[in-house]
Structure 1
């Protein structure tokens, strides 16, 4: 059962906090602003395991990125809800695609990927994770509603892409406008770290390409120039298929069209 407004106000009082409690509308987990300066994020019982990831990454990145991130203020359990109390960031969700936002994200990812991934992050074996994603890829996209003519092309495309051995980096995995803030023309916040992982940097670029640059070549160029490394479009396309949250029919409706995965790779993740 979702926490009510009364529940949230009770938690505020039990934590000795002050200020109005207002729930943020977006997000898969209950998140409340407490006054002007704090945010209370609640995790139901089945998601308690995500708290150590959120906390570890929040502490690892704070003060080390060119974009502000929340500062940990407290962690614990209230009734059946685990909670993370953090400082509140301010700004508005940026409109995308946007060249300046893309460049800011590229600079941010360069710094993020240079930070040692906290030990709590998985997967422990990236190659095994990728292999598991490959085994389930066609069936997942079939459930998403992908047309059969595209489904039958997935195995051959993935077989033709050498994902190799990349040094695992700290991945946010869901850098998108909904997890970014912008204020006075600059990025003013990155948040939501519980989906973080350790893995190949192109995995990050798959979601950023889908949700930030959105197939805009100028934005993609600004992103990779700020990052300082140009990823192979086919590798990024492969990770777009293998990403935990991949929804290829949705992506195809929202992104530039193409007649093959190779063509989509260039149009979505190329200059």
Structure 2
């Protein structure tokens, strides 16, 4: 049964109007103008330590505001995190200025020491597991056979060994950002965070922020201060935990091969 936001507000001794956010897979409520209450059912309680640890690690460390932790605990079977509310609207995609700000934000994010709670502990083993199930995952999402046939050879041709692991948000996309007057005013949603290769971060940023626009991508990577190898980013696009190439290709530049896609999506 879905939680009652007003009842939870009262049980926590809070005040203010309660509004449930329509987006997202978890129940999230705004309480007044200043607070957000995010809830996890029992089967997802294991995600809470990651959300809390990354929120605490990042607060005040980025050029973009992030939520401040107020409290965490249990309400019946629901785990909760009470945090400060970020204000603004979802930014437009294919915006050069916003893309540059995302690049600057990612550079700061990746300089923060990853909390010990973050996995995977063995990045190479994670990549190997993702490779093993990659073709079937894309087939499940109805990717055309023409593309499925290319995946094994393409992945075999890309060196994906990470020299060191950085703190990854993993889903930097417009839906997890807010802006006010053309300036980013918030980054949120940390439960999918991981420790791993920096190029993995550019999957979400490339597909859902710059969306194949070369000027936006150039602004992003220049602000980041390091240009990722397009083929490595494409490989991680295939291997991402939530990869769905059929969906990703909607609205992105077209090509006939994965090598061509790598350049058109992630080339400078």
TM-score range with shorter-chain normalisation? over 0.9
Q: Aligned match of 1:224 in 208, 221, 226? A: 221
Residue 63 of structure 1 aligns to a residue in which SS?
A: coil
Deviation at 1:223, TM superposition (A): 0.3
Once superposed, which parts of structure 1, at least 4 consecutive aligned residues long, lie more than 4 Å away?
A: none
Q: Which runs of 5+ in 1 are unaligned?
A: none
Deviation at 1:229, TM superposition (A): 0.2
Deviation at 1:10, TM superposition (A): 1.2
Deviation at 1:129, TM superposition (A): 0.2
2:49 corresponding residue in structure 1: 52
Alignment check: 8 A CA contact 1:171 1:198 kept: yes
How far apart in 2 are the matches of 1:265 and 1:121?
A: 28
Q: Aligned match of 1:259 in 253, 256, 262? A: 256
Residue 116 of structure 1 aligns to a residue in which SS?
A: coil
Between 246-255 and 58-67, the greater mean CA deviation after superposition: 246-255
Alignment check: 8 A CA contact 2:162 2:196 kept: no
2:81 corresponding residue in structure 1: 84
Matches within 5 A, 1:160-239: 160-239=157-236
TM-score (norm 2): 0.99
Q: Which runs of 5+ in 2 are unaligned?
A: none
1:40 corresponding residue in structure 2: 37
Deviation at 1:164, TM superposition (A): 2.3
Residue 249 of structure 2 aligns to a residue in which SS?
A: helix
1:249 corresponding residue in structure 2: 246
Residue 187 of structure 1 aligns to a residue in which SS?
A: strand
How far apart in 2 are the matches of 1:166 and 1:213?
A: 26
Q: Aligned match of 1:63 in 54, 60, 77? A: 60
Deviation at 1:14, TM superposition (A): 1.0
1:23 corresponding residue in structure 2: 20
Q: Aligned match of 1:102 in 80, 84, 99? A: 99
Deviation at 1:166, TM superposition (A): 2.5
1:156 corresponding residue in structure 2: 153
How far apart in 2 are the matches of 1:109 and 1:224?
A: 10
Deviation at 1:165, TM superposition (A): 2.7
Deviations 1:6-28 (A, max 9, x none): x2111111111000110001011
Residue 58 of structure 1 aligns to a residue in which SS?
A: helix
Deviation at 1:56, TM superposition (A): 0.1
Q: Aligned match of 2:6 in 6, 9, 12? A: 9
Alignment check: 8 A CA contact 2:42 2:79 kept: yes
User: RMSD between aligned alpha carbons?
Assistant: 0.7
Alignment check: 8 A CA contact 1:166 1:199 kept: no
Deviations 1:181-211 (A, max 9, x none): 0012210000000000000000001111011
Deviation at 1:254, TM superposition (A): 2.1
TM-score (norm 1): 0.98
Deviation at 1:126, TM superposition (A): 0.4
Tell me how many residue pairs correspond in the alignment: 268
1:132 corresponding residue in structure 2: 129
Residue 250 of structure 2 aligns to a residue in which SS?
A: helix
Deviation at 1:250, TM superposition (A): 1.2
